[in-house]
Amino acid sequence: MALTEEIANRFTQLLKQCNEVCEDGALPSIQKAFEYSQSILKTKKFKTGEIIIGHSLDVALIIAAEIGLGVNSIISGLLHNVMYHELAEKADPSLLKKEFGDSVVSILEGMAKINALGTDTVDLHSENYRKLMLALAGDMRVILVKIADRLQVMRNLEIYDKKAQAKIVSETSHLYAPLAHRLGLYKINSELQDLCLKFNTPEAYQQVNERLAETEQERTNFVAEFVKPIEEKLFSKGFRFDMKARTKSIHSIWNKMQKKEVSFDEVLDLFAIRVILNSQPELEKADCWTVYSIITEEYQANTERLRDWITIPKSNGYESLHATVMGPHGKWVEVQIRTQRMDEVAEKGLAAHWRYKGGSESKELDRWLGNIRDILEKPEISIIDFIDDFRVNAYEDEIFVFTPKGDLIKLPKGATMLDFAYEIHSDLGDKCVGGKIDGKKVTLKHELKNGDYVYIDVINNQRPKMDWMEFVVTSKAKNRIRASLNEEKKKEAANGKELLIRKFKNWKIEYNDEAIRVLLKHFKFKLAADLYYNISIGKIETLEIKALFTQKEGDTSKEKLEELLTKEEIKDFSFEGGDDFLVIDNNLKNVNYKLAQCCNPVFGDNIFGFVTIKEGIKIHRSNCPNAPDMRTRFPYRVIKAKWKNTSSRNSFLASIYLTGTDKMGILSDISNVIAKDLGVQMRALKVESNKGAFEGNIDILVYDLEHLDFLMTKLKNINGVISVTRKS
C-alpha cells in the first residue's frame, strides 16, 4: 500500500470517529487541520524512521476515540508536530492562531514547551523534569494530549533503540501512567503500565499473559454461572443493563503476585464483573443500590470490602459501587455497579466528566494541579522527593472527612491529622499540635477514617519537625514540611556564617574562599551552607576551627572557656598563672563544674577540666583512663586546672580495689580499719570469694589524696590482704 493511501485510510478512520464524538460542523475544521499538517510535515520522518504525519494521526485518533476530547484537542493532536525543531520549514504561529484559534494555539504552546525539553530523554532527577511537570500542570488539556502522545509512543516502542526505550519507560511509569490514573483514564493507565512491564521485565509480562490465555475458558465458564441468576432477577425487575467481566491488567496481576508473594493461581481477584445500568439521571443512585441489594440477596457479601463512590465520587469524577461477594464454588468476586454515564466517566475520565458537567473542569483536579504548581515553583523542593511522592500519591485510594463547618475534604487513605491540617492551609499545618475527632482529642499522628469530623488545635510558636516526615502521606504536607525545615536551616546557616566571620575577625585570621575550602575538606561537607548550619547548632565548635588555622601552642584556660561557654557561665570562675589554670575550690560551690565519675578525682590529685556539650565542665584526674582519647580528639575542650589552696575539709568519693586470701574474719578486719578512721565514711562494700581467694570493691568518702593514701596503707597491712589499688 502506498504511503499516501495508508495515511488517507488513517484519516478516514479519524473522521469516522470524530463524526461520533464531535459537535455538528466540526469535520471541516479537522479536515483543514489535517491538510495544513500534511503540507508542513509531508513525508518527513522522526529519527526512528516513523512517518511524522502518521504519528500525528494516531495521536488525534487516541484523543477522539479513547479519551473523548473535543474538536480543539483533536486538531491539536494533528498539529502538535508542525513546529518540530528538526523541520526545515516550520508552521507560522500567527497563521495557526488565525486559522485555528487561541484555544488550539494554547495547547500547542504547552506541547512545544514540553518538546523543547527533549522529554523522551529527560533525566528524572534533573531540574528539566521540574520544568516538564510545570509545563504539564499549566493546562489540563495539554496533559491529556501529551498522554495520548505518550500512549502512541509506547505502542510503537520497539522502533526505538534500547537506551531510549529505557528512558521512555522510566518516564512513563513515573509520570504519565500516574497522571492517567489520577485523571480517571484507568484503561490508558493500565495499558501504559502493561507496556512498561513488557519492556522492563519481558519474562514477567510473558508469564502472566500466557497464564491468562490458558485460564480464559475457565473464567468464562465461571462468569456465565455467576451472572445467570442475577440476570434473571434484574430482567424480572425491569432493569435495562449490560453485564461483562473485566480482567485485571497484566501489570496489576504481576504487582499483586510480588507484593503478596503468591503465584498466579493464588491471586483471588483476577477479574471483576461489571453491571452497567441504563438509568434515568434522577434514578441513578437508587437503581445502583437496588441492584446491590439484589446481588447480595443471591450471594453473601463481604461488608468490609464495600466501596461507595456513588454517594461521594472520587476527585477525578469516578462513580461506582463496588461489592465483594462469595460466588459459585466458594470464590470471592468483585462486582462493580454503575450506570452508562458513570461507566463512560470511568473509561474516559476527565474528558467524559467535562462533557457531562457542561464543559467545566473538576474543581478538585484543578486544585490538585494548583498544588503541584505551588510545590514545583519552590526551588528548594527536591525533584527526586517530589517524583517519589507524586507516583505513590497518584495511586492511593481516597477517604473523605469533614471540617467543623461540614465542608468535605478528600485525602489519600492513611492520611493523618497533620495531613488534614496542611490540606486546609500550610500555616495551619506548621502550627498544628493535634486536634479532635468527633469531639475526642487525638495526636498529630492519628490516622483519619471515612466520615470523621475533624477539628485542628494550633499553637502559634509550633514549628515543623523532622520526625513529622515519618507519618504524613500527602505530597502537600511533605513538601511544606521540607520547605519549612529548609527555611529554618537557612536561618541557622546565616547565623553560623555571621558567627564564623566574627570569630575569624577576633582571631585576626583572614576569612576567604580558601579558608572555607579548608573547612569543607576537614569536616567533609560539600556545601558551605551545611558547614555554617552545623556551626550554628553547635555540632562544630569554633575552637576546633581555630586550631586548624593557628600555630600557637594553645589558648589559656580562660580563652578556651570564653570560646565555649557564655559570659554568664564563666563569670564566677577563678584563674591562676596568667589565666592558664582554672582554679577548683574543694567545696565545689560552682555548679558549672562537676567531678567526673569515670575517675573520681579527690582533692590533691593532678587534674584537668573537660568542657562537655550539655553538662558544663567535668573535672578528671590527669591519669583518667579516658584522658588520652579526650586530649587526642578534643584538645580544644581540654583545659588546665588545679585545686585551690585551702585548709577547709570536704569529702570526696573514692573507690578502692582489694585482693587477698579468703580467711576467717578478713572482712571484719577490713571493716574495723575503715571504722576506726573517723574521717572516712564507707558508702558501699562488695566482696566476692572463689577457691580460697577474694576480691572486693569499696566506695568511701575521704578528705583528700593524702587521707586516701593513708587509708590504703593501713588496709595493705591487714594479714591476708595481698593488694590495695585505687580504681580508675
What is the residue-wise DSSP string for 216-245?
HHHHHHHHHHHHHHHHHHHHHTT--EEEEE
What are the domain boundaries of the chain?
Answer: 3-185, 210-348, 485-549, 557-643, 652-726
Q: What does the block give as the cell for 62?
A: 487516541
Torsion-angle region of residue 451: left (phi > 0), alpha (psi -120 to 50) or beta?
left
Contact 192, 170 (CB under 8 A): no
Is residue 386 scored above 70 in pLDDT?
A: no
Q: What is the pLDDT of residue 119?
A: 47
Better pLDDT: 569 or 720: 720
Q: What is the pLDDT of residue 121?
A: 47
Cα–Cα distance measured from residue 667 to residue 663, given in angstroms and rounded to the nearest whole number: 9
Assigned architecture for domain 3-185: Orthogonal Bundle (1.10)
Q: What does the block give as the cell for 437?
A: 475527632
The sign of the dihedral angle between the CA atoms of 442, 443, 444, 447 is negative
Alpha helices (runs of H) in 340-401, residue ranges in sequence order: 340-348, 350-356, 363-376, 383-394
Instruction: Pick the closest to residue 317 from 184, 422, 457, 204 (CA basis).
Output: 184
Q: What is the mean pLDDT of residues 653-659?
A: 92
pTM, full prediction? 0.61
Q: Residue 80 burial by CB count (10 A; 0-12/13-18/19+): exposed, middle or buried?
A: buried
Angle at 328 between CA 324 and CA 330, to 5 degrees: 70
Least confident of 13-17, 323-327, 550-554, 621-625: 550-554
Residue type, 542: T
Q: What is the mean pLDDT of residues 423-448?
A: 91
The phi and psi torsions of 618 (rounded to 5 degrees) equal -105, 130
Contact 651, 700 (CB under 8 A): no
Name the pLDDT band for 176 (thresholds 50, 70, 90): confident
CB atoms within 10 A of CB 433: 14
Q: What is the mean pLDDT of residues 154-170?
A: 92
Cα–Cα distance measured from residue 53 to residue 31, given in angstroms and rounded to the nearest whole number: 14
Q: What is the mean pLDDT of residues 286-313?
A: 92
Cα–Cα distance measured from residue 178 to residue 189, given in angstroms and rounded to the nearest whole number: 7
CB-side neighbour CA atoms (13 Å) of 543: 20
CATH topology of domain 210-348: Beta Polymerase; domain 2 (3.30.460)
Q: What is the pLDDT of residue 703?
A: 87
Q: What is the pLDDT of residue 1?
A: 38
Is residue 439 scored above 90 in pLDDT?
A: no
Measured torsion, CA atoms of residues 101, 102, 107, 111, in degrees rounded to the nearest 10? 90
Q: What is the mean pLDDT of residues 633-642?
A: 84
The sign of the dihedral angle between the CA atoms of 114, 118, 119, 120 is positive
Identify which of 354-363, 374-383, 473-482 has the greatest average pLDDT: 473-482
Exposure class string for 539-560: b at 16+ Cβ within 10 A, else e: ebbbbbbbeeeeeeeebbbbbb
Q: What is the pLDDT of residue 270?
A: 87
State in words which class domain 652-726 has: alpha beta
Q: What is the pLDDT of residues 72-86, one digit of tens each?
A: 889 999 999 888 777
The residue ranges of DSSP E strands in 565-644, in sequence order, are 574-576, 581-584, 593-595, 607-611, 617-621, 638-643
Q: What is the pLDDT of residue 355?
A: 56
Name the pLDDT band for 336 (thresholds 50, 70, 90): very high
Task: State whether residue 210 is helix, strand or coil.
Answer: helix
User: What is the pLDDT of the chain when averaged over all its residues?
Assistant: 84
Helix (H) or strand (E) holding 657: strand 652-661
Identify which of 200-209, 604-613, 695-704 has the greatest average pLDDT: 200-209
**Percent of the chain at pLDDT exceeding 90:** 34
Query: Hey, which residues does 276 pair with through a beta bridge?
Result: 242, 338
Cα–Cα distance measured from residue 111 to residue 81, given in angstroms and rounded to the nearest whole number: 9
Name the pLDDT band for 23 (thresholds 50, 70, 90): confident
DSSP annotation of 683 reads: E
Q: What is the mean pLDDT of residues 35-60?
A: 92
Cα–Cα distance measured from residue 607 to residue 588, given in angstroms and rounded to the nearest whole number: 14
Cα–Cα distance measured from residue 345 to residue 721, given in angstroms and rounded to the nearest whole number: 94
Q: What is the pLDDT of residue 360?
A: 47
